[in-house]
Amino acid sequence: MAFHGWQIQPNSTSVQQTLNQALSTVLRREAYTVAAGRTDTGVHALQMFAHFDSSVPLGNTEPIVRSLNGILYPNISVKRIFRVCDNAHARFSAYLREYQYDIHYRHNPFLYHRSLLWLRKPLPVEEMNELCSNLIGEKDFSCFEKTGGSNAHSICNVSHAQWIETDEGVRFVIRANRFLRNMVRAIVGTFLEFGSRRISASDFRALLESKDRKMAGASAPPYALYLTKVCYPDSVFSYD
């Protein structure tokens, strides 16, 4: 992988570090970015927002975008730079995030490290969608949280969770106001345990009540996970 996640860390190349350096070079002054979320190593982002403060007006930002894309890695692309209100925060102002996890059933070299290859029989999508109803609502998702996290609490409000059949296999889509560290990968891993008949529907419901990470399945690999959407209130874009 080209990057070891979003967040700056010693002895590893991160997206944040690379973007900070590019911005500082183009703007000719130090710039520090804060993202909507700290994606893990191997996880992709089809949409990501990050904010930075500027002491001077940037004017027409299109030349800045072109310059950034000229010096960034081939697998980072800046689409747009725009002004937001003074108290806007890329992470804390967001009210919804969406992730998807892709699984394919046949060998496909073009999906290598973009989707999880599942060589067992097709997953029971209808049954898995029945279980998805147990994820909906404001709940404690400790059972899907990686231990050692620094969150003040483990309550998330999941508004949508669904397995969708695709031309290649299946896709899991989940939306919530926030996600815990490793949460989506742990949920997918647990669904795969159910799809392999290693756990039952009642086991799945029981682990949600347990708040015990040890009862959930192993985390699914990161490379098939995508951050696909981040939503903000209109007030973030009202700065006059």
Catalytic residue list: 40
- Sign of the dihedral defined by the CA atoms of residues 11, 2, 8, 219, in that order: negative
Strand partners, 170: 103, 165
- Sign of the dihedral defined by the CA atoms of residues 144, 149, 151, 152, in that order: positive
The DSSP bridge pattern shows strands 155-165 and 50-51 to be unpaired
User: Which residue in this structure is represented by tokens 């899907």?
Assistant: 144
Dist CA 119 CA 83 (whole Å): 47
Q: Rounded to the nearest 5 degrees, what angle is found at the Cα of 35, between the Cα atoms of 81 and 138?
A: 125
